[in-house]
Amino acid sequence: MIPISYPFLKRPRRNRKSIAIRQLVEETTLSAKNLISPFFIVEGEGVRQPIVSMPGIERLSLDLLLKEGEILHAQGIPAIALFPALQASIKDEEGSESWNPNSLICRAIRLLKKELPSLCVIADIALDPFTTHGHDGIVNMKGEVDNDLTLSALTKQALCYAQAGCDILAPSDMMDGRVRVIREALDNQGETAVSILAYTAKYASAFYGPFRSAIHTRLQFGDKKTYQMNPANIQEAVREALLDQEEGADMLMVKPALPYLDVIAKLKEKTLLPVGAYHVSGEYAMIMAAHEKGYLDAQSTLFESLVSIKRAGADFIFTYAAPQILDLLN
């Protein structure tokens, strides 16, 4: 066949014709330093508990947490986030275990900072892993999650984690004013170097199911729609972000990630702070379930998902897929 020439054509394919050229013009780059690996922790020694709803993810005792954290850190992961899975017997209505200086999570923080001092340790500030009712705050006599009562509890929790050596506190509760009261409490106690990563736009999402199973928490009544955000709203996220920035947050978070790429982009545009995103348990579990059915390849799909989140403007990403992604990056 005689080649046909179309000299008037614009040919963007020239920038895609080889691996080398594609790398030269690549607009978004994902690296290990952009990733934060969440860990679920339990009491005991040598304990690995597979999480059925999250293939490849396990609850770990502290000795194994240390080993896994060391491996990931050596591969370039700068930070991990801790989530305790507690026995029902130590939970109560107020979540008082959250400010126990000898709690599982405080022991985990001290261990990691002693053995891996260059690893950044992040801990959630919220009561749901510690309460019998499963809500993120204290429930009052009316059966409502009481904003101002909860602020006092969150402050005690934040100080407890800071004094254990936590690098970044991440209030995920969505109570009004929590960034301000936590920042003031930290500063008043001399913990001025401890950072606050505010879950600024945490939506009342259907994607959290596997996470709640992983930390052994279950709502005993109602839902979280009176404090977590309506998935239909984006201007509300901007308002929350500007408030958190004013109140002393050092970084902001959008959760979940893929369904809210527009929110990530908007907050990056409207604020002056680093913006992160949480690629949550449901997002991870969907991909892994499809992989197990043979419908798609998990590793490449996870990588594409994280690149999309980064392209939207996320400076860092919480992801359960860090080990799979590191295999590609390395």
Beta bridge partners, 50, equal 58
Nearest of 72, 63, 45 to residue 322 by alpha carbon: 72
Report CA 229 to chain centroid distance, whole Å.
Answer: 16
270 is catalytic: no
- Residues counted in the chain: 330
Within 10 angstroms of residue 129's Cβ, the number of other Cβ atoms is 23
Dist CA 64 CA 70 (whole Å): 10
17 is catalytic: no
Prior bond of 256 cis (ω within 30°): yes
Beta bridge partners, 253, equal 199, 276
Nearest of 199, 197, 200 to residue 249 by alpha carbon: 197
Catalytic residue among 91, 224, 255, 268: 255
Paired tokens of 55: 């293939």
Active site residues: 202, 255
